[in-house]
């Protein structure tokens, strides 16, 4: 899950080297925290949050496959 | 751009050394002479080695063969394959270009996981791949992502629905509404009934999902 978000985030930002993804695994739900450079924040959120929403949708599809739930949090 | 520096007794020797070490032919590199080298007097005093800078030419030839669309296509294909591999999801991605659009179709998702409810996952994948391609190309190119020809099937069923609702509207003489649809689906409905002289179509609602109202024209 972590790698999936990291790949997408890195492909979208101007400073891929500053992308940090951490995964906090729970029994059923994992929280994935995405951190990017300040100026790249808009790139991973998108207009009206469209990019963030798309990443969450893909993440939930991937989680469904392993019968889990994942939440994506974008850290400021 | 990769750059290297080489030395030799003469510039020629340095170039030969560069080609051997980098395993490229002379045509693949650009050579800049930093110091020409000197044999010195009687080959003893003041000998200086020749120093060159070698720049590896990117495979420009290949880029010339493929137009920009092909480039976008390979970027799009690679991005989608990468995402699928990380989900992880086995699937074969086929791609081609059509009217300047990049079309990608994934075969092998029997579960419909990549499609999601009403194509939501598919739309998300398409949105992300579009972003990635536009970013790496530095310009807007439209990418359409499909799974098992879902979009075509969806389109066919929407056209059927449009025609059925159109008939109903004419029969009862009152406006009929569709389910809330996204912009692309609404467009399919509008276009399906565009040529019917007895019907008018309008979108109604707020936000991303709106209903299409099919109105019978009064004679």
> In whole angstroms, what separates CA A32 from the centre of its chain?
6
pLDDT of residue B118: 84
Question: Which residues, at least 6 apart from B58, have a Cβ–Cβ distance to it below 8 Å?
Answer: B1
Determine, for residues A12 and B135 on separate chains, whether the beta-carbon distance falls below 8 Å.
yes
Helices (H) and strands (E) in chain A, counts: 3, 3
Question: What's the pLDDT score for residue B70?
Answer: 59
CATH number of the domain at A54, please.
Answer: 3.30.300.20
CA distances to A66, B40, B41 from B46, in Å: 72, 5, 7
Average pLDDT over residues B12-30: 85
How high is the pLDDT of residue B10? 84
> What are the structural domain ranges in chain B?
1-58, 63-148, 150-219
Contact (CB, 8 A) for B78 and B46: no
pLDDT in tens, B34-92: 888 777 666 666 778 888 888 887 655 444 444 555 589 999 999 999 999 999 888 89
- What is the count of structural domains for chain A? 1
C-beta separation of B152 from B144 below 8 A = no
Structural domain for A31, as ranges = 2-75
Task: Domain B63-148: give its CATH superfamily.
Answer: K homology (KH) domain (3.30.300.20)
Which SS3 state, helix, strand or coil, does residue B137 take? helix
Asked if B186 and B203 touch (Cβ cutoff 8 Å), the reply is yes
- Average pLDDT of chain B is 87
Asked if pLDDT for residue B215 goes beyond 50, the answer is yes
Question: Whole-angstrom Cα distance, residue B78 to residue B92?
Answer: 11
* CATH code of the region B150-219: 3.30.1370.50
Sign of the torsion angle spanned by Cα atoms B67, B73, B79, B82: negative
ipTM of the complex: 0.96
* Chain B residue set in contact with A, beta carbons under 8 Å: 79, 82-83, 86-89, 113-114, 116, 120-121, 123-125, 127-128, 131-132, 135-136
The predicted model scores a pTM of 0.70
How close does chain A come to B25, measured CA to CA in Å? 34
Chain A nearest C-alpha distance from B117 (Å)? 10
Nearest CA in chain B to A10: B132
Q: Tens digit of pLDDT for each residue in A25-46?
A: 988 899 999 999 999 999 999 9
**Six-digit token pair at A18?**
């500053």
Residue B100 has pLDDT above 80, yes or no: yes
pLDDT, one tens digit per residue, over B149-183 is 999 999 999 999 999 999 999 999 999 999 999 99
Distance between the two ends of chain A, CA-based, in angstroms? 20
Q: Which of B55, B88, B216 minimizes the C-alpha distance to A65?
A: B88
B119/B109 Cα distance (integer angstroms): 13
């Amino acid at each position: 899950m972590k790698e999936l978000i990291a790949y997408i985030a890195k492909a979208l930002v101007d400073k891929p080297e500053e992308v940090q993804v951490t995964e906090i695994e729970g029994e059923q739900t994992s929280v994935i925290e995405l951190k990017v450079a300040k100026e790249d924040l808009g790139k991973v959120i998108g207009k009206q949050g469209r990019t963030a929403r798309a990443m969450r949708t893909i993440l939930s599809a991937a989680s469904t496959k392993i019968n889990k739930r994942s939440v994506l949090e974008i850290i400021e | 751009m990769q750059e290297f520096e080489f030395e030799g007794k003469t510039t020629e020797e340095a170039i030969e050394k560069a080609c051997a070490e980098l395993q490229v032919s002379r045509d693949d590199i650009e050579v800049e002479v930093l110091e020409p080298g000197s044999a010195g007097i009687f080959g003893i005093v003041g000998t200086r080695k020749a120093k060159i800078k070698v720049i590896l030419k990117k495979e420009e030839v290949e880029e010339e063969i493929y137009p920009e669309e092909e480039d976008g296509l390979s970027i799009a294909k690679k991005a989608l394959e990468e995402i699928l591999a990380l989900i992880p999801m086995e699937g074969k991605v086929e791609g081609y270009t059509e009217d300047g659009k990049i079309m990608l179709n994934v075969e092998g998702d029997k579960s419909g996981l990549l499609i999601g409810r009403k194509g939501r996952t598919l739309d998300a994948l398409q949105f992300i791949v579009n972003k990635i391609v536009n970013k790496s190309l530095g310009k807007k190119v439209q990418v359409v992502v499909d799974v098992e020809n879902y979009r075509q099937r969806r389109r066919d069923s929407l056209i059927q629905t449009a025609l059925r609702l159109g008939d109903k509207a004419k029969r009862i003489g009152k406006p009929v509404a569709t389910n809330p649809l996204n912009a692309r689906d609404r467009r399919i409905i509008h276009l399906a009934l565009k040529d019917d002289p007895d019907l008018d179509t309008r979108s109604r609602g707020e936000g991303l999902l709106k209903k299409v109202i099919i109105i019978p024209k009064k004679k």
